[in-house]
Structure 1
Amino acid sequence: MKNYSSSLQIPTHPNRTLIPEEEKEEQNNPQPAHDNDPEEKPRPEWDFSLSTVISSPNSATDAIGVIEFDQSENLLATGGIARRIRIYSVQKSLTSPENGGGGGAAGENRVTFLDHAAACEYYICTPAKLSSLKWKPGSGSRVIGSGDYDGVVMEYDLEKQVPIFERDEHGGRRVCSMDYSNSDPVLGASGSDDGTLQMWDPRCEGGDSIASIQPNRVVSSPVCCVEFNPFGQPIIAVGCADKKIYGYDVRRMVDPVFIFEGHQKSVTYTRFLDSQTMVSSSVDGCLMMWNTEDQSLIRTYRGHVNNRRFVGLSVWRKGGLLSCGSENNRVFVYDKRWGDPIWVRGFEHVGQTRCDRGFVSGVCWRQMEEERCTLVAGSSDGVLQVFEGQRKVPM
């Protein structure tokens, strides 16, 4: 552990979006059946519309890999290959006054177009490309943590706009994901291409890891995602390139308390929907919902295209909606009750001409009202688009 205050050197790194080599080949893979009633179709209960587009002339070299709202839901942070953490104010940049901050029927809202330089409150330069961002609980939205391609976890004081903490325990291998526990004391964890989960407690003298776990004990398999259960249970979920999801009790990090098997390729994201329900994403092109109590598969979601890259996953807990990106450059929204998408929107290029269509590389819901919602999506072209939704009034 270091108290970090020296100047930062900027190395070069590969593209964050690629999955480990062993996952690049097969596209036709068997999928587990989901339990949806084939007679029941998703009901159109929501209207979504595009509210704001944020881009810049050099967006094509500024792929957005991660998007995170803070605990107050008033600030948004983004990171990616441009080695910058950008901070946006929701009220000033992401919510258009003409739209009333809510959203209406598709096509009713006026779209606001902004430049990144004008839209973001400020940005912090980082020493490497970023793969993960998390706001630190209990910091009053002052501290944000990041995982990067150098295998380093950093914390930044946003008020002073300086790095204040560094962990380098992954041997220079990319940190794919990092997270904080919401419990007291605040625990931190990171997963890496080195095949390990590292966990630390800031109270520990010297800052050494309190646990170093290799989920796959037979073959070192990259850890693609880590997430603490945010509802009070002492559980951390770990998704790996070996197609499995491991759950550990943070009080005794020896053996997993559950292992979920069902995905056919690397598990790229896990998100807790409630205290005993978790959603996972994989480059097998599907999402899966799991019950962590009886360790059963509840439902499988299909429609988006994902066979190679990190495309994001976010859950809106109050509304029961899921969202992910897609390699066909579209944003997908699923209702947790149905396996087919309820809304799909193409991600148009803004002021750019490219042969490569790009892909939607990150999504994040704003966890606010129950009748209105805000979804922010980022692309490999460095463009942010803000969508606002409103629940339809029953006839």
Structure 2
Amino acid sequence: AVGSADHRVHYYDLRQPREALSFFTGHRKAVSYVRFLSPDSVLSSSTDSTLKLWNANSGLCTMTYSGHSNDKNFVGLASHGDFIACGSEENCVYLYHRTLDHQLLKHPFSNMQQSNPSVQDEDDPDPTQFISSVCWRTGTNVLLAANSVGTIKLLELI
């Protein structure tokens, strides 16, 4: 399965790659990332600020996740069991549960003051920063997240 600028997920059988088996249609903008959650389900991320969960056998969308902002940058996507983490262009990490269409948690990355890096300034968000990567530590509820200026945070889901 691959994402495309034509707003669709193209689903292939690698034994016959000449043409797609099917197309998953439903995003309003380019699909920037696709991953399998199981042999039967595919998760896609789009610059329309949604994630979609697809039934790989039928090609039908079974859930749409919204709340995060993603208009132009790749904002990171990772899954762990029933949890889905993604970044956003407002410099926050979002956590979704596979069965709920709205966010469970939103964790903002705060700006660090240049003169004193230990002082956080959460009232002055920088609109140019975004979460660019998220990754679950294997076998744990620990999420590593990084943003576009190199800030890295280790977050634990309790």
TM normalised by structure 1 equals 0.36
1:252 alignment partner in structure 2: 16
CA distance in 2, matches of 1:387, 1:351: 21
1:343 aligned residue (88, 97, 105): 105
Shift of the alpha carbon at 1:349?
A: 2.1
- AA paired with 1:356? D
Shift of the alpha carbon at 1:285?
A: 0.6
Task: State whether structure 2 residue 145 is matched by structure 1 residue 381.
Answer: no
Cα gap change, 1:374/1:304 in structure 2, threshold over 3 Å: closer, same or farther? same
Q: Map residues 141-220 of structure 1 onto 2, 5 A cutoff.
A: none
Task: State whether structure 2 residue 6 is matched by structure 1 residue 242.
Answer: yes
1:276 aligned residue (40, 54, 59): 40
1:95 alignment partner in structure 2: none
Task: State whether structure 2 residue 133 is matched by structure 1 residue 362.
Answer: yes
Unaligned runs of 5+ in 1: 1-236, 391-395
Cα gap change, 1:255/1:376 in structure 2, threshold over 3 Å: closer, same or farther? same
1:327 alignment partner in structure 2: 89
Q: Encode CA deviations 1:22-49: one digit per residue, 9 max, x unaligned.
A: xxxxxxxxxxxxxxxxxxxxxxxxxxxx
Q: Which has the higher strand share?
A: 2
2:73 alignment partner in structure 1: 309
* Aligned-partner SS, 1:249: coil
Q: Encode CA deviations 1:95-115: one digit per residue, 9 max, x unaligned.
A: xxxxxxxxxxxxxxxxxxxxx
- AA paired with 1:368? G
Q: Encode CA deviations 1:49-86: one digit per residue, 9 max, x unaligned.
A: xxxxxxxxxxxxxxxxxxxxxxxxxxxxxxxxxxxxxx
Q: Encode CA deviations 1:250-273: one digit per residue, 9 max, x unaligned.
A: 111111112111000010111111
2:119 alignment partner in structure 1: none
* Aligned-partner SS, 1:265: coil
Higher RCO structure (Cα 8 Å, ≥6 apart): 1
* Contact in 1 for aligned 2:111/2:126 (Cα 8 Å): no
CA distance in 2, matches of 1:331, 1:359: 9
Shift of the alpha carbon at 1:348?
A: 1.2
CA RMSD of aligned residues (A): 1.6
Q: Map residues 74-93 of structure 1 onto 2, 5 A cutoff.
A: none
Shift of the alpha carbon at 1:308?
A: 1.2
Cα gap change, 1:330/1:388 in structure 2, threshold over 3 Å: closer, same or farther? same
* Aligned-partner SS, 2:157: strand
Q: Which has the higher helix share?
A: 1
CA distance in 1, matches of 2:103, 2:114: 28
When Rg is computed on C-alpha atoms for both structures, the one with the higher figure is 1
CA distance in 2, matches of 1:360, 1:297: 26
Cα gap change, 1:352/1:336 in structure 2, threshold over 3 Å: closer, same or farther? farther
Cα gap change, 1:386/1:256 in structure 2, threshold over 3 Å: closer, same or farther? same
Cα gap change, 1:375/1:275 in structure 2, threshold over 3 Å: closer, same or farther? same
- AA paired with 2:10? Y
CA distance in 2, matches of 1:302, 1:338: 10
* Contact in 1 for aligned 2:111/2:125 (Cα 8 Å): no
Q: Encode CA deviations 1:158-191: one digit per residue, 9 max, x unaligned.
A: xxxxxxxxxxxxxxxxxxxxxxxxxxxxxxxxxx
- AA paired with 1:263? H
Q: Encode CA deviations 1:234-256: one digit per residue, 9 max, x unaligned.
A: xxx11011111101111111111
Cα gap change, 1:275/1:355 in structure 2, threshold over 3 Å: closer, same or farther? closer
CA distance in 2, matches of 1:351, 1:382: 15
CA distance in 2, matches of 1:355, 1:313: 22
2:53 aligned residue (282, 289, 292): 289
Shift of the alpha carbon at 1:356?
A: 3.5
2:120 alignment partner in structure 1: none
